[in-house]
Structure 1
Amino acid sequence: MSPVRSTALPLALALVAASAIGGLVYSAAPREAPPLTLTAGGNGASVPFTEYEAESAATNGAKIGPDYTQGTLPSEASGRQAVTLSGQGKYVEFTLTKPANSIVLRYSVPDGSQGTVSVQVNGTKVRDLAVTSKYSWLTAPWIAGAKEHHFYDESRALLGRDAVAGDRVRVQLDAGNVTTATVDLADFEQVAGAAGQPANSLSVTAYGATPNDGGDDANAFVNAINAAKSQGREVWVPPGTFDIGRGLAIDQVTIRGAGAWHSVLHSNNPFLNNGQVQGSIKLYDFAVMGEVTQRVDNNPDNAYHGPLGSGSVISGLWMQHLKCGIWTMNGTTNGAVIENNRFLDLAADGLNFNGRVTDSVVRNNFLRNTGDDSLAMWSLGADVRDSFTDNTIVQPNLANGIAIYGGTDISVRGNLIRDTNALGGGIAISNQAFVYDGSFSPLAGTTTVAQNTMVRTGAINPNWGHPMSAIRFDSYDFPITSPVSVTDNRFVDSPYSALQFVSGGGTGKPITGVTVDGASVEGVGTVVLQVEAPGSGRFSNVVASRVGTRGFYNCVYPSSAGTFAITRGSGNSGWDSQWTDCGSWPPRNAGDTTTPPTTTPPQTGNVARGRPAGASSQIGEYPSSNTTDGNASSYWESANNSFPQTLTVDLGASTSVRRLVLKLPPATAWGARTQTFSVLSSGDGGSFTQVLASAGYRFDPATGNQVTVAVTANQRYLRLSFTGNTGWPAGQLSELEAYTS
């Protein structure tokens, strides 16, 4: 059994190793963005259901969010908002705008719990709907900061009646239900009845498969497949649930179900091809429901695993509770069509073209709650002339919505991506190889990124400790020199920046092939353009509004790598201003849309406690956020042998500070040292003035390893600028406490 090569674990390890990309760290949470209604004719997949957000429904529960902080319930919710129900009688009630006879509920229940919620139509209970934490609350120890994630799951059921537009469907906690549940959204759909058996087909039940009995039907499926191939017929999977206890090798066969709501294969890996196949594999209209509760990369826990050969089609499948939906490897795939599928609640990627895939298209698919890149091409052996077209992606809770790692003449067009979370953004165009066996094929030909819509995409990378954009171009292991055409994309309420140029390995490899022509930037938290790699790019018809801090940031890392030339064509507006302080990230500002935070720092006690902290650099597991967490045993450490270094705390509002208490870990293993630093303050996070001149301060374990500094500061941001340390060649601090007296 060949192991699955997957992007997230290597990516995470690589990001930990490159923990100070750009030499800068920014860990402040962004401001909240309002709910968005896309204009008619928007991007993405055409789907048979209507999605209703809980925060927009009638409720007596508690609305939570918006929030963009990694590892929180609202940050992993669609729209960054949800509703928590706690106690009997609490409900969310959706008013239908279209007929429906089914519900898919996206919810979270506390870790270790399971049970039901009540579903009512117009006040009459129609059923209990099962909910469980079994497939959620995953742990990823390789992620800095909040390691627990993947809080939501989805449960589906037929209502048992036809509801019409105007009917009210209520999800409520009654006696006997769970006591607490958070509801993110519900999908309502008019599900067609089960399809009948095609004339030219053989049913798996004729070969011994028995639905709904819990017995292993793998042998019956094998016999039916062999008979169908020998007779030139299809394999028919009638309504019911069939258990497949092992991966089945398939080739030159059509397997068809009665519909994804009716025919179910209960298996972690029903189809497993470990070597080359001829192709003409056709899979239609059934569900694959797995039992994957943790990600194990050596297990091929995927609905389909292996090459597809020539001319294969996967259409109308529902794939849930697996590691990945579709992962192609160990052979070649040519002319494949992957369309009209749903990928839900997966521990890793939705789909990955893992090399040697040519002239294949992934179109009109819906993906939600993947645990890694939702759609990826990882070109271990060239992926050539492949496309991701008109797909909808919602809440990948790790990594990117779409990621292109190498490949030739690749196209990403017409997709809608919403609410990306940690370790990625909306679209990544990257030359990150992950493995170094010589098989990786960097970007070549022309890469096309056109007519995509990205809503609230981009995030703070918890391993890098700094923001990632809605679209990222990354010369991680190889320069990007072939043309990348970025045309007519839409960016809506990006938490940080819209476009990013970075060399993620920290070595400053150039990016020279990118042309941006046509971009509607409708709200960014920091800057429109975030440049950290050398090279050049041409930008035309980039129109920006509601820009958070400045128009662009152009600070190449390392500075010795060169410069990035921004060539401006015609039609640009709204992003002329530049953030010029390369020693700090542009702070996320209220200029993007949105209501400033309602939290006012306390005027007594430590007003820096729990506030966002950023730094000019950090080392691996010692992020700047440790300095405001209230734990003197955790600490921040800057990049070594590189002064000056800065540490900045955002107090949230202008605050009168009169005293700083600065700490190092109290353990006696920390020898005494003198650190030299000055104190600065700022009202906007951009222009800092000196509050206290540079001086040496002695930290000694014998006296608690702490220093008290008197200051007079009356602004929002406080900064320490370190220029020396006699105990270690870096800035170090475990707590920065600020007091108003």
Structure 2
Amino acid sequence: MSRSSTGAEAGRAAGRPRRRTAVRTAGFGAATAVSAVTAFTLGLGVLGGGTALAGTGAPAAGPVVTRAGLDPALVEGRGANVGFAEQEAEHAATDGTVIGPGRDAYTLPAEASGRSAVTLKPGQYVEFTLPGAANAINVRYSIPDAPAGGGITSPLNVTVDGGHRTTMTLTSQYAWLYNLYPFSNDPTADVSHPDWWVTECGCVPQDTTPTPVFAKPFRPNHFYDEQRLLLGRTYRAGQKVRLTVPAGAATTTVDLLDSQLVAPPKIDLGAANVLAFGADPTGRRDSADAVDRAVAFARRAHLKVYIPPGTYQVNRHIIVDDVTIEGAGSWYTIIKGHQVDLVTPAPGGTAQPEGPGGGSVHTGVGFYGKDASVGGSSNVHLSGFAIEGDVRERIDTDQVNGIGGALSDSTVEGLYIQHTKVGMWFDGPMRNLRISGNTIVDQIADGINFHTGVTDSTVSGNFLRNTGDDALAMWSEKAEDARDTFDHNTVQTPVLANGIAVYGGTDNTVSDNLIADPIREGSALQVGSRFGAQPFTGHLWITGNTTVRAGTYELNWNIGLGAIWFYALERNIDADIQVTGDDFLDSTYNAIMLVSDFPVKDLYSITDVHFKDIRVDGTGTSVLSARTAGGATFQNVEARNVGAVGINNCGSFHFTPAGSEFTVTDLGGNDGGGTTGPWLAPWELPNTITCDDRPAVVPPPAPSAW
């Protein structure tokens, strides 16, 4: 999550107290900088792997289309219905080097979709066979940073069947962050918070005050970016798109290629056309004032605003209220802006009607509703254009988001948002917002955040990749988010924190989403009493979701997280929480975790959580890790390929003769297991202590049909 201040949280080793440390509020810490210097200088990660199709074990043959790096049949009905075909580079023809699979933090494989990619040196290629007709592609890639930070550019040649060559100019200007939260662009910087506990220090901080020496660059991350390209004509299925790194270019890692058939641009002759108000479709002149004039006229005349094909330079917020703005399509209408320094920081509030607020030191391109303190905006409808920002560092007070403010009774549909701080950040109170069919990629922080009193609203059918914090979040910081739904969204490779997180609120739903490859300091799904959130009340339904390769190593705690994890930090979690019909596939550690922070383990508990009709296919350790007081019920939870004892029950670490403080209730139908036997064995019930602080990890086989 994006934050206005770093705050403080506790770093600890699970099961043993550690010194309180000022850990950033957006997550936790990190692991050792594995191959950090190599990754920084060469753009390489862990080598190895092959070209087997994840989820099938079969070698690639012809075009291989996957969803979240899996056979689409394994995730059918989950996630967004996108208009493109996603093909992983490791399944394509190449004379480059397949890197991965690997999940160690701070390496290129770990941040790749499916945890593998292809690294190309100058002269090498990767070639994709089109699975269907296409006139547009999108390439997800990584190139090295500049030695002193700030990024470089490098060419990549694109040919189809050996002809029609186009050269893309790749950049790492929006990638490569370093150090501790809120991160740095300087790879040579010393540790930014030497007083924080970090696992790279091999000392005992409660007994000493060390000054450890850390490898530089320290904790490199956020390696990937992506770039779209219209091919100029339609190619048929079976034709081959080859990406070649030319001589003299930088070593380039290609993660995947998306291909699609983009519809012709939309035309609206009856709308207020921004060109008539002086907008410049070449992008050479700033068009913000022209868009404002078109919006003002359209409101008076009760018309829509139309932005035709072109690139429009907009370097500040466009304030919207009671207006419809539509583009020709997100591939054709590009609203692109520079990040602009403010002479003085903006005043308090989070999105003042006249522009950025909350202490912002920059402004940039974005469409903002009025601040909730002045009533917010309503009846706003945005569709069919791209917002491309210029955010290269994380400053949590900055209002440099793609969409912001308060928007009630409104819709946001069919946008492409890239390189802003947060794709969409809403500060309530506000109600009845519908967000659907958008693509949000390459964010410094969150994808979409419902912050403070967002009610009766829906986020559905959206695709989010490479967010720098929670991809989707409900954050009830000052007022409850209530009756909101996150449904049928796809989240891939959130670099930091969680795929979907719910912090407090009442009667909310998270349903039929697909979350893949969370990378560090979080996992696929989180339910957390933290960040000053209001309590959970009423119910929370988590239904029909699929997680893939989730469960990261929590590097301040030095333990693995669950694919879904419940975290009691600031209060009890005791609402009616139903986790029903979810699939947890290839979990790196455990599938389910319930945990309270060690300093508050005797204050807060997690109760009234119910798991039903769950499938667990592959865990590195247990099905359930309980590290808190409380309890949960389990019914029809099927598990296979479980790497350790089914339940790792530590309770609140008092290890009393009466057993654990966490109670497991078996409601029947729980079967399957792994090498140690049934995952839910009679001897584990109801509260047998089975605590293994850091169990050995047994990598599971790839998921397969149930």
Structure 2 length as normaliser, TM-score?
Answer: 0.78
Matched residue type, 1:107: Y
Residue 216 of structure 1, CA deviation: 1.3
Matched residue type, 2:2: S
Residue 21 of structure 1, CA deviation: 3.9
Q: Which residue of 2 aligns with 1:370?
A: 467
Contact 2:586 2:702 in 1 (8 A): no
Matches within 5 A, 1:180-219: 180-199=251-270, 201-219=271-289
Matches within 5 A, 1:600-619: none
Query: What CA deviation, in whole Å up to 9, does each residue of 1:370-395 have, x standing for no partner?
Result: 00000001002110000100000000
Q: Is 1:529 the counterpart of 2:624 in the alignment?
A: yes
Contact 2:652 2:661 in 1 (8 A): no
Alpha-carbon distance between aligned partners in 2 of 1:247 and 1:488, rounded to the nearest angstrom: 42
Q: Which residue of 1 aligns with 2:391?
A: 292
Check 1:353–1:198 CA distance in 2 against 1; reply closer, same or farther (3 A cut): farther
Check 1:499–1:8 CA distance in 2 against 1; reply closer, same or farther (3 A cut): farther
Q: Is 1:126 the counterpart of 2:160 in the alignment?
A: no
Q: Is 1:6 the counterpart of 2:23 in the alignment?
A: no
SS in 2 for 1:346: coil
Instruction: Out of 300-309 and 577-586, give the one that drifted further.
Output: 577-586
Q: Is 1:76 the counterpart of 2:111 in the alignment?
A: yes
Check 1:449–1:479 CA distance in 2 against 1; reply closer, same or farther (3 A cut): same
Matches within 5 A, 1:515-594: 515-559=610-654, 563-573=661-671, 574=673, 575-576=679-680, 582=691, 584-590=693-699, 592-593=700-701
Residue 27 of structure 1, CA deviation: 7.0
Matches within 5 A, 1:131-142: 131-142=170-181
Alpha-carbon distance between aligned partners in 1 of 2:456 and 2:394, rounded to the nearest angstrom: 30
Q: Which residue of 2 aligns with 1:707?
A: none
Matches within 5 A, 1:638-653: none
Check 1:415–1:9 CA distance in 2 against 1; reply closer, same or farther (3 A cut): farther
Q: Which residue of 1 aligns with 2:451?
A: 354
Residue 8 of structure 1, CA deviation: 9.7
Residue from 549, 556, 579 that aligns with 1:486: 579
Check 1:198–1:528 CA distance in 2 against 1; reply closer, same or farther (3 A cut): farther
Query: What CA deviation, in whole Å up to 9, does each residue of 1:516-538 have, x standing for no partner?
Result: 00111000001000100110110
Alpha-carbon distance between aligned partners in 1 of 2:680 and 2:320, rounded to the nearest angstrom: 57
Residue 335 of structure 1, CA deviation: 0.8
Check 1:499–1:295 CA distance in 2 against 1; reply closer, same or farther (3 A cut): same
Q: Is 1:499 the counterpart of 2:631 in the alignment?
A: no
Q: Is 1:95 the counterpart of 2:192 in the alignment?
A: no
Residue 408 of structure 1, CA deviation: 0.4
Q: Is 1:341 the counterpart of 2:438 in the alignment?
A: yes
Residue 197 of structure 1, CA deviation: 1.9
Q: Is 1:20 the counterpart of 2:21 in the alignment?
A: no
SS in 1 for 2:423: strand
Residue 7 of structure 1, CA deviation: 4.8
Query: What CA deviation, in whole Å up to 9, does each residue of 1:94-143 have, x standing for no partner?
Result: 01111111110000001123121001111114301120110000124248
Check 1:523–1:209 CA distance in 2 against 1; reply closer, same or farther (3 A cut): same
Residue 213 of structure 1, CA deviation: 3.6
Alpha-carbon distance between aligned partners in 1 of 2:72 and 2:366, rounded to the nearest angstrom: 38
Q: Is 1:115 the counterpart of 2:154 in the alignment?
A: yes
Residue 560 of structure 1, CA deviation: 7.7
Contact 2:580 2:612 in 1 (8 A): yes
Contact 2:584 2:617 in 1 (8 A): yes
Contact 1:21 1:506 in 2 (8 A): no
Alpha-carbon distance between aligned partners in 2 of 1:365 and 1:593, rounded to the nearest angstrom: 30
Alpha-carbon distance between aligned partners in 1 of 2:503 and 2:526, rounded to the nearest angstrom: 8
Alpha-carbon distance between aligned partners in 2 of 1:156 and 1:52, rounded to the nearest angstrom: 15
Q: Is 1:421 the counterpart of 2:414 in the alignment?
A: no
Q: Which residue of 2 aligns with 1:316?
A: 414
Alpha-carbon distance between aligned partners in 2 of 1:347 and 1:7, rounded to the nearest angstrom: 12
* Structure 1: gaps of 5 or more residues: 596-741
Q: Is 1:151 the counterpart of 2:223 in the alignment?
A: yes
Matched residue type, 2:11: A
SS in 2 for 1:396: coil
Alpha-carbon distance between aligned partners in 2 of 1:179 and 1:137, rounded to the nearest angstrom: 15
Check 1:198–1:512 CA distance in 2 against 1; reply closer, same or farther (3 A cut): farther
Query: What CA deviation, in whole Å up to 9, does each residue of 1:344-395 have, x standing for no partner?
Result: 0000000000011110000000000000000001002110000100000000
Alpha-carbon distance between aligned partners in 2 of 1:27 and 1:266, rounded to the nearest angstrom: 36
Check 1:7–1:525 CA distance in 2 against 1; reply closer, same or farther (3 A cut): farther
Q: Is 1:271 the counterpart of 2:336 in the alignment?
A: no
Alpha-carbon distance between aligned partners in 1 of 2:53 and 2:535, rounded to the nearest angstrom: 39
Contact 2:382 2:411 in 1 (8 A): yes
Matched residue type, 2:562: S
Alpha-carbon distance between aligned partners in 2 of 1:22 and 1:531, rounded to the nearest angstrom: 11
Alpha-carbon distance between aligned partners in 2 of 1:576 and 1:293, rounded to the nearest angstrom: 48
Q: Alpha carbon RMSD of aligned pairs, Å?
A: 2.4
- The structure that has the greater radius of gyration is 1
Query: What CA deviation, in whole Å up to 9, does each residue of 1:524-568 have, x standing for no partner?
Result: 001000100110110011111111111110002342896000001
Residue 582 of structure 1, CA deviation: 3.2
Q: Percent identity?
A: 39
Contact 2:143 2:250 in 1 (8 A): no
Q: Which residue of 2 aligns with 1:238?
A: 308
Check 1:422–1:24 CA distance in 2 against 1; reply closer, same or farther (3 A cut): farther
SS in 2 for 1:593: coil
Q: Which residue of 2 aligns with 1:229?
A: 299
Q: Which residue of 1 aligns with 2:83?
A: 48
Matched residue type, 1:102: A
Alpha-carbon distance between aligned partners in 2 of 1:162 and 1:278, rounded to the nearest angstrom: 41
Matches within 5 A, 1:151-170: 151-170=223-242
Alpha-carbon distance between aligned partners in 2 of 1:505 and 1:235, rounded to the nearest angstrom: 54
Q: Which residue of 2 aligns with 1:717?
A: none
Residue from 453, 467, 470 that aligns with 2:546: 453
Alpha-carbon distance between aligned partners in 1 of 2:88 and 2:702, rounded to the nearest angstrom: 20
* Structure 2: gaps of 5 or more residues: 19-29, 35-45, 56-70, 147-151, 184-197, 201-217, 338-363, 674-678
Contact 1:23 1:557 in 2 (8 A): no
Aligned positions, number: 577
Query: What CA deviation, in whole Å up to 9, does each residue of 1:45-77 have, x standing for no partner?
Result: 000000000000000000000111000000000
Alpha-carbon distance between aligned partners in 2 of 1:106 and 1:54, rounded to the nearest angstrom: 10
Structure 1 length as normaliser, TM-score?
Answer: 0.75
Q: Which residue of 2 aligns with 1:708?
A: none
Residue 505 of structure 1, CA deviation: 5.9
Q: Is 1:444 the counterpart of 2:531 in the alignment?
A: no
Residue 270 of structure 1, CA deviation: 2.1
Instruction: Out of 59-68 and 506-515, give the one that drifted further.
Output: 506-515
Residue 179 of structure 1, CA deviation: 3.2
Q: Which residue of 2 aligns with 1:477?
A: 570
Residue 581 of structure 1, CA deviation: 5.8
Alpha-carbon distance between aligned partners in 2 of 1:583 and 1:43, rounded to the nearest angstrom: 34
